[in-house]
């Protein structure tokens, strides 16, 4: 197989980073990205892009840690280069605070982020309703910049990108040798995965450039993430809700909760409301599959179901998916040489 044709379905952070990894590990591949949405209209564009892992109940911790470590290392290098501002990647320090001391005081990722330590009494005074906290420095990927930067890197490798709604993976058979499914929430319909469910998140993006630290309540519901041009205020975790319409009552509630953590936000300006559906699953599906229909085979690599943790593990899962694409290519080359006998 001289030049395997690979189609990547989905152009959020997972689709674009997976496509990029494939061009890196398989330079002879011809990669095409197909998506009904591109930045700034993907789920990734709504997310703050903080490197703060979500724990998947059914993925082994060592695997999640490996994904996070690879992602952090990759972005850390870019954050200190001349490309950082274009890529939207920057370091940010702050605090995760808990109303009552959590069972797990040291999360699995505490040795990957920078300077992780418990907060001092003096630091906790800033959060009178919270008993315990962790201070650390992590990375943030601002979108759209990060997605646009990935698109630019892809175009430089000759990757084509098309706006196209793929209703069925079999549509792509014939045109492409391997299909990579990074459809995020779209995988629910695209491959009929009933284990995939939306967790609706509403956020506000506000202009408050004096806010230089992140603040996250350990319950995961209230958070303040300062980006390059705006601060993301969140949020909600509404399991099973498919609604993409902003709710005004929720907006008020998010704003109030964030102001109680950071009173100076009362002076925030230019507030925009956004909604995204976290494509959630008990474990991220990074897996090879060979679809079969009427004697015809279609190799598929799945990379979806990252829920609340997409940015945190994106590069790690992209690497794994690219590796699986490599396996698909080997299998195709093996079977094509068998066919020659």
Partner 1 sequence: MRVAIIGAGVIGLSSALCIHEQFHGLVPSLELEVYADHFTPHTTSDGAAGLWQPYLSDHGNLQETLWNKETFDYLLGHLHSSAAKEMGLFLLSGYNLFTEPVPDPSWKNIVLGFRNLTPKELELFPGYSYGWFNTALMLEGRSYLPWLTNRLTERGVKFFHKKVETFQELFAQGVDVVLNCSGMRAGDLQPDPELQPGRGQIIKVLAPWVKHFIITHDLKSGIYKSPYIIPGSEFTVLGGIYQHGNWSEENSAEDHKSIWDSCCRLLPPLQKAKIVGEWSGLRPARPSVRLERESVRLGNLQAEVIHNYGHGGFGITIHWGCARAAARLFGSILQEKKQLARPPGPRL
Site residues for partner 1 per CB under 8 A: 79-86, 88-93, 114-115, 117, 119-120, 122-123, 126, 135, 137, 142, 209-213, 226, 228-229, 263-264, 266-267
Report the nearest approach of partner 1 to the CB of residue 240 (Å).
36
> Closer CB to partner 1, residue 67 or residue 225?
225
In this complex, which beta carbon is closest to partner 1, that of residue 123 or of residue 175? Answer: 123
Nearer to partner 1, 162 or 210 (CB): 210
Q: For residue 314, what are the CA distances in angstroms to 19, 263, 281, 287?
A: 12, 33, 15, 15
- Residue list, annotated binding site for FAD: 43-44, 166
The residue among 46 and 268 lying less far from partner 1, judged by its C-beta, is 268
Binding residues: 43-44, 166, 223, 278
Torsion region of 332: left, alpha or beta (phi above 0 gives left; psi -120 to 50 gives alpha) = alpha
CB of 90 to partner 1, least distance (A): 4
* Binding-site residue positions for D-dopa: 223, 278
- The least distance separating partner 1 from the CB of residue 276, rounded to whole angstroms, comes to 22
Q: How far is the CB of 82 from partner 1 (least distance, A)?
A: 5
Output the smallest distance, CB 17 to partner 1, in A: 20
- CA 151 to mean position of chain CA atoms: 15
Q: How far is the CB of 325 from partner 1 (least distance, A)?
A: 32
299/295 Cα distance (integer angstroms): 13
10 Å Cβ neighbour count for 3?
A: 10
What are φ and ψ of residue 308, in 5° steps?
A: -80, 0
Half-sphere exposure of 245 (CA within 13 A, CB side): 3
Compare residues 181 and 230 and give the one whose CB is closer to partner 1. Answer: 230
Measured CA to CA, the distance from residue 283 to residue 146 in angstroms comes to: 25
Residue placing its CB nearer to partner 1 in the complex, 120 or 243: 120
Q: Mark 202-230 as b/e (b = at least 16 C-beta within 10 Å).
A: bbbbbebeebeebbbbbeeebbbbbbeeb
By CB neighbour count within 10 A (0-12 exposed, 13-18 middle, 19+ buried), where does 132 fall? middle
Report the nearest approach of partner 1 to the CB of residue 223 (Å): 16
| CB contact set of 251 (below 8 Å; sequence gap of 6+) | 202, 204, 271, 273
Question: Quick one: 137 or 251, whose CB is closer to partner 1?
Answer: 137
Residue 336: other Cβ atoms inside 10 A: 10
């Amino acid at each position: 197989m001289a030049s395997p044709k690979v189609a990547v379905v989905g152009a959020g952070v997972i689709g674009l980073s997976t496509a990029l990894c494939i061009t890196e590990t398989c330079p002879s591949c011809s990669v095409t990205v197909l998506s009904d949405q591109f930045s700034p209209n993907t789920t990734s564009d709504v997310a703050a892009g903080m490197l703060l892992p979500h724990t998947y109940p059914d993925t082994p911790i060592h695997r999640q840690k490996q994904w996070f470590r690879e992602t952090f290392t990759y972005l850390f290098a870019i954050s200190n280069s001349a490309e950082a501002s274009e890529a939207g990647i920057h370091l940010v320090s702050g605090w995760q605070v808990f109303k009552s001391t959590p069972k797990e005081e040291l999360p699995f990722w505490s040795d990957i982020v920078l300077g992780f330590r418990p907060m001092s009494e003096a630091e906790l005074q800033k959060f009178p309703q919270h008993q315990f906290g962790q201070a650390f420095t992590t990375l943030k990927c601002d979108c759209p910049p990060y997605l646009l930067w990935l698109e630019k890197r892809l175009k430089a490798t000759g990757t084509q990108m098309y706006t196209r709604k793929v209703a069925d993976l079999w549509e792509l058979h014939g045109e492409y040798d391997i299909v990579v499914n990074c459809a995020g929430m779209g995988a629910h319909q695209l491959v009929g995965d009933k284990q995939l469910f939306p967790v609706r998140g509403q956020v506000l993006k506000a202009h408050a450039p004096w806010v230089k630290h992140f603040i996250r309540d350990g319950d995961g519901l209230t958070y303040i993430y300062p980006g390059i041009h705006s601060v993301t205020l969140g949020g909600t975790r509404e399991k099973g809700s498919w609604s993409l319409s902003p709710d005004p009552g929720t907006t008020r509630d998010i704003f109030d909760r964030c102001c109680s953590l950071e009173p100076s936000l009362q002076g925030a300006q230019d507030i925009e409301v956004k909604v995204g559906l976290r494509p959630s699953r008990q474990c991220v599906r990074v897996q090879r599959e060979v679809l079969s229909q009427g004697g015809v085979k279609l190799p598929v690599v799945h990379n979806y179901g990252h829920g609340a943790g997409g940015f945190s593990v994106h590069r790690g899962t992209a690497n794994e998916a690219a590796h699986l694409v490599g396996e698909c290519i080997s299998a195709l080359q093996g079977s094509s040489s068998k066919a020659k006998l």
